[in-house]
Amino acid sequence: MSTPADPSTATATTRPVRRRPLLAFVALVLIIAAAFAFAGSGSSPAPARAPALAAATMPPSDARSSAWYCVAGTANRGGTADETLVVANVGDRPLRADVEVTTATATGAATAPVRRRLDVAARGQARLRVGDVVATPNPGVVVETIGSPAIVEHEIRNGAQLAAGPCARHASPGWYLPAGTTAKGALQTLALFDPFGDDAIVDVTFLTDGGPLSPEDLQGLVVPRRSRVTVPVHDEVRRRTIVATMVQARVGRVVAEQSLAFDGTAGRSGLTLALGSPTTATDWFLPAGSFVRGPDTMTLMNPSDATASVTVEVVLDGAANLSPQTVAVPDHSVTNVDLLARVPANISFWVRLHADNPIVAGQLTSGGGGATTVMPSALGARRWWFAFGRVTDVSADSIIVANPSSRAGSVRLDAVRGGTVTPVATARTVAPGARTSFDLRAARVPTGAALVVTAGTDVVAERVNLAAPAITAALGVPDVPDAG
């Protein structure tokens, strides 16, 4: 595989891990150079188009290969988040996917990574359960796709519960994961993966409703090269309603992903998955508001040194309007916004956020026996990809597309399967500030089909899957100019 060279050893471990003397501090700062346009005659901004604002973006059309990093999940018998990879070839040539899974002995000694090759037909899809490659409780997975454009997502399952989302295509020195909780009945897990040939050293800080916390054993935490470290956050931060996570590397780069498991003891059940954001931003967009009957909160995370004033705009479907609300989030703190507090019954909506200082936002929704977390998008694109659309032949699955831009645009949804591209529905026009929904079950979209949203203006697209009791939702993979 074309991951950075050097030794082929790999480790996978659960904290605590070995610590090293502090190395010379290396300041690694994410610089955002994104210009924001304003939508309509008001002050609502359109989404930025900057690949630095997303961990998962489509590779350039002329790329001969691309690497995807899948972080959270288990691959051992009895694991609580059994992981499956979904590789969708969206090009017109056959694809080879080289899958590399890190592993370790029972005592933590390093072993060589285990590799498996997948051949995927043109405009086809392949699935691979990670546990069928190797049995390990903490797999870190690299998927290198060669020969054709592709998307890689992964699913984690625990019994009837399911969570899914795209794997990362970018590592970063910094990560933010806002929507967490260690309240009664919740297990919050942070997975850190270093896919490169040198060790990374990171500091992990939690912003909670009780104030910031920096556990000593998570400062100067070593993430060994080509390995994954798993941090049980619920053991570090006990019984907090809000637990937002910030990861900053002193040395190297990592990929960070979070899962939540609710055991039902406090009225919530379900399994969630969220890939972190590599940066903060002033504007965030969430196409799907509440889609189940249950609590729906947006966590606003402010890791900066100044108070952030955040305008929360809940955009209702139809003619009704809600006035925006302004929320002050002090420096180094978090707050929850109840998205349903002012929404009339049975009205659907989407959400846009604008802050005067960069923040990060995350949604946590639960109900019907399931739960899901979604990271809103800080960027817009004219094309969004999904490695799959349906969970089962009977699940209620949808693609939701919001238009935060200042002009109307056409939106089309196509299914990619069996070597062909098939329209799911006729193209429709979406007004500025509006959204549209594609019902995949009603359109009889088959399982095993990848999906692509194509629009005439910058939009944001999200997939929602309801397979009772499991619910899961995730943004697609935007096709934007690539920074490497």
pLDDT tens, 74-124? Answer: 999 989 999 999 999 999 999 999 999 998 655 444 568 999 999 999 999
pLDDT in tens, 183-201: 999 999 999 999 999 999 9
The per-residue pLDDT for 46 is 52
Assess whether pLDDT exceeds 70 at residue 436: yes
Query: In the structure, what pLDDT confidence band is assigned to residue 62 with cuts at 50, 70 and 90?
Result: confident
Assess whether pLDDT exceeds 80 at residue 319: yes
Can you tell me the mean pLDDT for 179-184?
Answer: 97
- Where b means 16+ CB within 10 Å and e means fewer, 84-102 reads bbbbbbbbeeebbbbbbbb
Q: Considering only residues 11 and 328, tell me which one the structure prediction assigns the higher pLDDT.
A: 328
Q: What is the pTM of this model?
A: 0.89
Assess whether pLDDT exceeds 70 at residue 13: no
* Cα–Cα distances in angstroms (integers) from residue 430 to residues 167, 185, 406, in the given order: 29, 41, 11
Integer Cα distance of 171 and 484 in angstroms: 10
Can you tell me the mean pLDDT for 49-64?
Answer: 79
Kindly state the tokens that stand for 139. 């797999």
